[in-house]
Amino acid sequence: MGVAIRKTKAELGLADLYQGARRYLPGGEEITAVRAAAFDRFDAVGLPHRRVEAWRYTDLRTQMKEAKRLASLPDDAAKTKAREASNLFAGAGFRKLVIVDGAFVPELSDLADLEPGLTIQPMADALAADQPLLLQRLGPVVPDDDPALALNTALAANGVVILVAPGTALSRPIHVAFVTTNWVATSMFTRSQVNIGAGASATLVESHQGPDGTEYQVNTALQLVVGDEARIDHVKVVTEGNGALHISSLLANIGARATFNQLGFVAGGSLVRNQLFVHIAGEGTVADIRGGSLLAGAQHADTTLAIEHAAENCQSRETFKAVVGDTARAVFQGKITVSPGAQKTDAKMMSRALLLSDEAEADSKPELEIFADDVQCGHGTTTGAIDDELLFYLMARGIPPDEAKALLIQAFIGEIIEGAANESVRAALTEAMLGWLGRRE
Amino acid sequence: MTALLEIKGLHAEIAGGRKIIQGLDLTVNKGEIHAIMGPNGAGKSTLSYVLAGKPGYEITAGEVYLNGEDLLAMEANERAAKGVFLAFQYPLEIPGVATLTFLRAAFNAQRKARGEEELSSPDLIKRVREIAKTLNIDAEMLKRPLNVGFSGGEKKRNETLQMALLQPSLCVLDETDSGLDIDALKVVANGVNALRSGERGMIVITHYQRLLDYIVPDIVHVFAAGRIVRTGGADLARELEATGYGQYQSEAA
Ligand SMILES: Nc1ncnc2c1ncn2[C@@H]1O[C@H](COP(=O)(O)OP(=O)(O)O)[C@@H](O)[C@H]1O
Ligand SMILES: [Mg+2]
C-alpha cells in the first residue's frame, strides 16, 4: 500500500546521520554506491515495526526513540578505558582484537606473530580499497530488505576482516572485543568479515560490552564465509550496558562437509536483537546453533534465526534457551527452510523459556518450510516456571530458596554453555552467567 | 528429656480441602527407629512431606517439635539445617546439576545455616568418595547430573549417600525399599544401619515388612486413614505381613 507514513524522529535522525557521514565513510566508488542503495532501501521502509513479520515482536519504530550521533574516533581516554575494561576471556591466551566505540584500534590489538595463513585487517582499510568480497549478498536467505542490515551497510565505518587461508588450522582462538566507552550516548555501526578457507578451522569469539546508564546504540554485522570441509566455532557474548540498544546480524554462508558451531549468549543490554541468517550451500555439513539469554528488569531480547538447508545430507540442531525475570521479554523466531533437492536434511529446533516472574514474557515462533520430501525436521517449544518439585528437593537438602533457584537456572542454561567446544569459552560463559545471577541477588 | 520429634494432634489437608492427616500423635526419641506401615493412599508420603516442609499442604491443627523447636514455622531448608532429612520415595532427577555440585551446595548450605565453617572442595570430595564406596556408588556416577538416568536402585543409594553425608538427627525414609531388588536392598539397609546411633532417630515408612527384616525397628505403627491406629513391637510387622491391612482400613473408615 502506498500510504505515506510520517517518519519518526529516529528515522529522520538516521537520515541525518547518513547524509552527514556519507562523504567521510570509508569506501571507493563501488562501496559508496552500495551504501547509497542500502540507505535507499532503508529509507523506503523505515524502521521495522510489528506489522513487519520478521520484526513482529520487536517494534523498533516504537522502541527506538531517536538516533544517537555517530561515535567519534576513540581518543586516549577512550583507549585507556577500553584497555581497562573487564574481559571475560582474560587469561585464556586468545588473540585479542579490540574495537573501541566502533573503531578498530591496532595498538590495543594483538597483531604480533600472525600464524601463517592468517590475515587481519581493519574493515575501514578494506572498505577504502573497495575490496569486492565485502558488502556483497551472500545467499538467498539474506533478505535484501532487512532494514537493520541495510542501515548497517549504509553506515558501517569499521570492524575487522579476518581471512584464514585454506587448510590452515588456527589453534589459537581469536577474540574480537567490541567495547563502548562513551558516557555520552552515541551510535556505532560496525561490519566485519571472516572467511574460513576450505579445510581450515578457527575459533572466533565476539564480545560486546559497554557502560551502564547510557542509551548507546550498536548496529553490528558479521559476514562469515565457511569453505568446504572447514570448521568454525563462533561465539558471540553480549554484556552491553543496561541502556544499550544492540542490533546484530550474522550472515553465514557455509560450504560442503563443513562444521558450523554458533553460540550466542546475551546477559546485558536494554534491547537486543540478534538476527542470524545461515545458508548451508554444500552437502554433508553439520551445524549446531545455540543461544542463551539471561534477562531481567525491563530487558527485551529477540533472537531471530533463518537457516536454509540448500544442499543434501546436512544436519542442523538449533537450541535456544532464555531465562526471563521481572518484566523482561524474550523472543525467539526460528525458521528452517529446506530447499527443493535438499534431501536427507535432518534439522531439529528447540526453544525453551524459563520464566522467573509472573510478568516475564517469552514469545516463540518456530517455522518449517520444506520443499524436499525425504527429510527429518522438527521443532519444539516449552515455556515454564521453575519446577516447584525440584525446588523443594533442593530445599529439603538445606539449600536456601534463592540458591536453589540459581542452581536450577544454571542447570537450565548450562546446556547451552556446554555446547562450546573450547574450555576457556565455557568458563567465560559460566562467569557471565554467575555475574548475572549475582546481580539479581 | 525433650523428645527428638514430637507430633501432637496433627491434621493436614491438600489444596482443595481434602483431609489426609487426621489426628496424628507420635513421639520419637533419640536412638529410636520407628516403622510406619500402612496401605497405599493412607497418607504416609504426605506425612513425610509435612515433616520436611513441602509447600502445598495446609496444617489445620496440631503441632510438631524437633528438639523442642517449632518445626512447622520453618522453611524446608531451615528444617534440613536443623537435622531433618527426608529420603524421597521418588527421588527427583535434576538435569544439568552434577551430583557432586548438589552435594557440595547442600552440605555447605547446612553448615552455613548452623554458623559452622564450610568444607573445602577436596575435603568434601574425599568424604563423599568414602561414603560412596560403602554404597557401591562409583565415582563416575557422582559426576553425572543428579539422578538423571539412574536406575531405581541407584537413586535410592544416592539418597542414602546424601543422608550419610549430611548426618541428620531425624531421618524419614519413605518407601526406601520400593523398586529395589534384594541385593540393592541389602546395600541400602547396611547404609542406613550404619547411621543408627543414640543421637539419631528414624522413621521408616514402608508398605511391606521385607525392609524391616534388614532395618529392624524398635517400634512399629500401623497408619491408616491419616492416623496411627495401632502400635507394637517389631513382631507387629510380621503379623501385618500375614494378615494384611484389611481390618485397619475398615476400622478407620
Ligand atoms: N498433591 C496431591 N494432590 C492430590 N492428591 C494427593 C496429593 N498428595 C497426595 N494425594 C492423595 O492423598 C492420599 C495420600 O497419599 P500419600 O500420602 O501419597 O499416601 P501413601 O504414601 O500412604 O501411599 C492419596 O489418596 C493421594 O492420592
Ligand atoms: Mg507413599
C-alpha Rg value of chain B to the nearest Å? 18
Q: Which three cell numbers stand for residue A3?
A: 500510504
User: What angle is formed at CA A241 by the lines to CA A290 and CA A273, rounded to 5 degrees?
Assistant: 40
- Cα(B109) to centroid(ligand 2), Å: 28
Taking the C-alpha atoms of residue B172 and residue A221, their distance in angstroms, rounded to an integer, is 58
Contact A79, A107 (CB under 8 A): yes
**Cβ B222 under 6 angstroms from ligand 1:** no
Residue pair B2/B67 in contact by the 8 Å Cβ criterion: yes
Whether A349 maps to a domain, the answer reads no
pLDDT of B62-94, one tens digit each?
A: 999 999 999 999 999 999 999 999 999 999 999
Shortest distance between the Cα of B103 and any Cα of chain A, in A, equals 9
C-alpha to C-alpha distance for A384 and A399, rounded to whole angstroms: 22
- Domain count within chain B: 1
According to DSSP, residue A300 is labeled E
How far apart are the CA of B243 and the centre of ligand 2, in A? Answer: 21
Cross-chain CB nearest to B92 (options A393, A403, A404): A393
Query: Residue A300 and residue A297: Cα distance in Å, rounded?
Result: 9
Q: What is the dihedral of CA B131, B134, B140, B145, to 10 degrees?
A: -60
Write the residue in A398, A404, A411 that is nearest to B81 by C-beta: A398
**Structure confidence at residue A136 (pLDDT):** 58
Q: Return the residue whose CA atom lies nearest to atom 4 of ligand 1.
A: B14
Instruction: Tell me the Ramachandran region of residue A361: left when phi exceeds 0, alpha when psi lies from -120 to 50, beta otherwise.
Output: beta
> What is the C-alpha separation between B217 and A378, in angstroms, rounded?
54
Q: Chain B partners of A400 at a C-beta cutoff of 8 Å?
A: 77, 109, 113
Which residues in chain B (139-198) have CB-CB distances under 8 A to chain A? 145, 162, 166
Q: How many other β-carbons are positioned within 10 Å of the β-carbon of residue A402?
A: 11
Which of B225, B253, B226, B220 lies closest to B238 in space, CA to CA? B220
Q: Does A177 lie in the same domain as A43?
A: yes
Q: Is the beta carbon of B209 within 6 A of some atom in ligand 1?
A: no
Residues A352, B166: Cα–Cα separation, whole Å: 34
Helical ranges in chain B per DSSP H = 44-52, 76-82, 99-113, 121-134, 139-143, 152-166, 182-194, 210-214, 234-243, 246-252
Same domain? A62 vs A200 = yes
Question: Grid cell 507394637 — which residue?
Answer: B232
A412: closest chain B residue by CA: B96
Of B77, B91, B162, the CB nearest to A401: B77
Instruction: Give the DSSP H or E segment for A18.
Output: helix A9-21
Q: Do B105 and A415 touch (CB under 8 A)?
A: no
Kindly determine whether residue A400 and residue B77, on different chains, have CB atoms separated by under 8 Å.
Answer: yes
Cβ pair B102:A397 closer than 8 A: yes
Q: Which of A282, A313, A340 is the last residue of a domain?
A: A282
CA distance B41 to chain A (A): 20
Q: For residue A65, is it within any domain? A: yes
Cβ atoms of B210 and B218 within 8 Å: the answer is no
The C-alpha atoms of residue A246 and residue A347 are separated, in whole angstroms, by: 29
> Nearest Cα to A299, choosing from A267, A275, A321, A276?
A267
Tens-digit pLDDT profile for chain B (253 aa)?
A: 789 999 999 999 998 889 999 999 999 999 999 999 998 899 999 999 999 999 999 999 999 999 999 999 999 999 999 999 999 999 999 988 999 999 999 999 999 999 999 999 999 999 999 999 999 998 899 999 999 999 988 999 999 999 999 999 999 999 998 888 898 899 999 999 999 999 999 999 998 888 999 999 999 999 998 999 999 998 888 888 888 887 777 544 4
Domain-ending residue, one of A282, A302, A325: A282
**Strand partners of residue A161:** A121, A193
Number of domains in chain A: 2
What spacing in Å lies between the alpha carbon of A418 and ligand 2's midpoint?
37
Amino acid A4: pLDDT: 58
d(CA A21, CA B155): 66
Residue A135: inside a domain: yes
DSSP at B72: G
Q: Evaluate whether residue A263 is within a structural domain.
A: yes
Give the E-state strand segments of A356-400 in sequence order. 361-370, 376-385
Choose from A323, A354, A389, A399 for mutation: most chain B CBs within 10 A. Answer: A399
Instruction: Kindly give the distance from the C-alpha atom of residue B226 to the centroid of ligand 1, in angstroms, as a whole number.
Output: 10
- Rounded distance between C-alpha atoms, residue B78 and residue A400, angstroms: 8
Choose among A137, A135, A142: nearest CA to A159.
Answer: A135
8 Å CB contact of B109 and A400:
yes
* Cell representation of residue A331: 523472543
d(CA B233, CA B188): 23
Q: Which residue of B has its CA nearest to A404?
A: B105
For a ligand 1 pocket test, name from B22, B45, B47 the mutation site with the most ligand atoms within 8 angstroms of its C-beta: B45
Q: Is A394 in Cβ contact with B94 (below 8 Å)?
A: yes
Interface-testing mutation among A323, A393, A412, A418, with chain B (most B C-beta atoms within 10 A): A393
Phi and psi at B100, nearest 5°, equal: -65, -40
Cα of B41 to ligand 1 centre, how many Å?
A: 6
Separation of alpha carbons A135 and A223, rounded Å: 8
pLDDT at B252: 46
Cell of B24: 496424628
CB contact under 8 A, A390 and B162: no
Predicted local confidence at residue B245, as pLDDT: 82
Contact B91 A393 (CB under 8 A): yes
CB A220 within 8 A of CB A104: no
B102–A407: do the CB atoms touch at under 8 Å?
A: yes
Q: Could A396 and B77 be called an inter-chain contact, meaning their C-beta atoms sit closer than 8 Å?
A: yes
CB A291 within 8 A of CB A263: yes
Give dist(CA B3, CA B205) in Å, integer: 20
Q: Is the CB of B97 under 6 A from ligand 1?
A: no
Tell me the DSSP string of A47-114. S--TTSGGGTT--HHHH---PPPBPPPP-HHHHHHHHHS--TTTTS--EEEEEETTEE-GGGS--TTP
- For the Cβ of B34 lying below 6 angstroms from any atom of ligand 1, the answer is no
Please answer whether residues B63 and B4 qualify as being in contact, where contact means their C-beta atoms are separated by less than 8 angstroms: no
- Full domain range(s) for residue B50: 5-252
Phi, psi of A404, deg, nearest 5: -65, -45
Residue B45 CB less than 6 A away from ligand 1:
yes
Alpha carbons B13 and B19: distance in angstroms, whole number: 4
Together in a domain, A393 and A255? no
Residues A392 and A247 in one domain: no
Orientation angle between helical segments A388-395 and B99-113, nearest 10 degrees = 60
Neighbours of A7 (CB within 10 A): 15
Element (H, E) at A390: helix A388-395
Nearest to B146 by CA among B124, B161, B165, B125: B161
Pairing mode, strands A231-239 and A259-266: parallel
Per-10-residue mean pLDDT for chain A, 441 residues long?
Answer: 75 97 91 90 94 94 96 96 96 97 97 97 91 56 77 94 97 98 93 96 98 97 96 98 97 97 98 97 98 97 97 98 98 97 97 97 97 96 96 98 95 94 96 90 68
- CB-CB: which of B75, B145, B162 is closest to A397? B162
Q: Outline where A231-379 has alpha helix (H).
A: none
Residue A37: give the domain boundaries.
9-282
Give the pLDDT confidence score for residue B241 in this predicted structure: 82
SS3 B206: strand
Q: How far apart are the first and last CA of chain B?
A: 36
Q: Strand A300-309's sheet: what is its strand order?
A: A118-122, A160-164, A187-196, A217-226, A245-254, A271-280, A300-309, A329-338, A361-370
Contact B94 A411 (CB under 8 A): yes
Interface list for chain A against chain B, based on CB atoms closer than 8 Å: 388-390, 392-401, 403-404, 407-408, 410-412, 414-415
Query: Which candidate, A403, A408, A415, places its Cα nearest to that of A440?
Result: A403
Q: Which residues does residue A223 pair with via DSSP β-bridges, in sequence order?
A: A193, A251
Q: A423-440 vs A401-417: helix axis angle to the nearest 10?
A: 150
Cβ–Cβ gap B77/A412 under 8 Å: no
Nearest ligand atom owner, CA of B16: 1
Q: Please tell me the predicted confidence (pLDDT) of residue A1.
A: 45
C-alpha to C-alpha distance for A59 and A242, rounded to whole angstroms: 19
CATH of the domain at B160: 3.40.50.300
Ligand 1 pocket test: which of B11, B14, B177 has the largest number of ligand atoms within 8 Å of its C-beta?
B14
> Of the residues A249, A282, A315, which one is the last residue of a structural domain?
A282
Q: What is the DSSP letter of B162?
A: H
The predicted pLDDT at position A145 comes to: 74
Contact predicate A261/A419, CB 8 Å: yes
B75 touching A (Cβ < 8 Å) = yes
Q: Cell 542442523 maps to which residue?
A: A316
